[in-house]
Structure 1
Amino acid sequence: MRNRRGGARRAPGELEAEVLSVLWEAQGPVSAGDVQHRLPGELAYTTVVTILSRLHEKGVVTREKHGRSFAYRAVDDEAGLAARRMRKVLDNEPDRGSVLARFVSALSESDERVLLELLRRHEGKE
């Protein structure tokens, strides 16, 4: 698929993932301009601002005022973001038990062992 400029078009969500990757690699909050310069290709500044604004609306990034613009920071790392997505799916299901049962039944043996170990550790903290 090609965009208007003749370049390859990104898959849905790919640009958000690239922006998040830049934020995860940053040592602190970064401006939209910094994000733009760290991304591959030639994205318009307004495109980067739009993506950052959408991520902020989703609660995935925070922003703080720096002069007349904002600096952005990811709320979670990659694992935290994946866990947040999984919780969101569960929160939207009327029968959480069935969803969790299906999820667990589809795990590989190694993933099942990891989950059991995590549950044992969590149980010991209560």
Structure 2
Amino acid sequence: MGTDERQRPAGLTRRVWQVLATADTAMTPAQVRDALGGDWAYTTVMTVLSRLVAQGLATRQRAGRAYAYTAVADRAELTARRMNRLLDAGDDRAAVLARFVDVLSDEDEKVLLDLLGTQGDERP
């Protein structure tokens, strides 16, 4: 007897993320559940969405009394969010950032400096 994708947590997580990723707008848990076919318990869908946020794969914002969820756009954003979570977990952001810059290749350091220079020009 084979395991149906619906029964595997990883299968559901993948499907929920795909629903968010293909949506044109942020979605509430009820909307995600409906897009999945409505066979899932609302609380199950909420749990998966909360885990996606905790993993940095989705973001959420208030939508009335509920939250609306959006998939993280791409790998670059996902990596940036992970880096930010690691910075948030440390005691000394400045020390972590200094060490990060110390271990960058010369090429990566130049890219970072160029990006920071561009960012500074765009700030009000």
Q: TM-score, normalised by structure 2?
A: 0.55
Superposed displacement of residue 51, structure 1? 1.4
> What are the superposed Cα offsets for residues 12-65 of structure 1, whole Å, 9 maximum, x if unpaired?
xx93x76344323211233546535767xxx84453232124556899213535
Which one of 73, 98, 102 corresponds to residue 101 of structure 1? 98
Q: Is the 8 A contact 1:33 1:45 kept in 2?
A: no
Q: Alignment partner of 2:90: what SS? A: coil
Are residues 103 and 52 of structure 1, via their aligned partners in 2, closer, same or farther at CA, if it must alter by over 3 Å? same
Are residues 106 and 37 of structure 1, via their aligned partners in 2, closer, same or farther at CA, if it must alter by over 3 Å? farther
Are residues 82 and 21 of structure 1, via their aligned partners in 2, closer, same or farther at CA, if it must alter by over 3 Å? farther
Q: Alignment partner of 1:72: what SS? A: strand
Partner Cα separation in structure 1 for residue 102 and residue 78 of structure 2: 23
Q: Alignment partner of 1:60: what SS? A: strand
Superposed displacement of residue 115, structure 1? 1.0
Aligned to 2:70: 74
Q: Alignment partner of 1:62: what SS? A: strand
Q: Alignment partner of 2:115: what SS? A: helix
Q: Is the 8 A contact 2:20 2:71 kept in 1?
A: no
Q: Is the 8 A contact 1:32 1:72 kept in 2?
A: yes
Q: TM-score, normalised by structure 1?
A: 0.54
Superposed displacement of residue 7, structure 1? 6.3
Q: Is the 8 A contact 1:29 1:73 kept in 2?
A: yes
Higher helix share: 2
Equivalenced residue count is 114
Give the root-mean-square deviation of aligned CA atoms: 4.2
Among the aligned pairs, what percent are the same residue? 36
Could you tell me which runs of 5 or more consecutive residues in structure 2 were left unpaired when the two chains were aligned: none
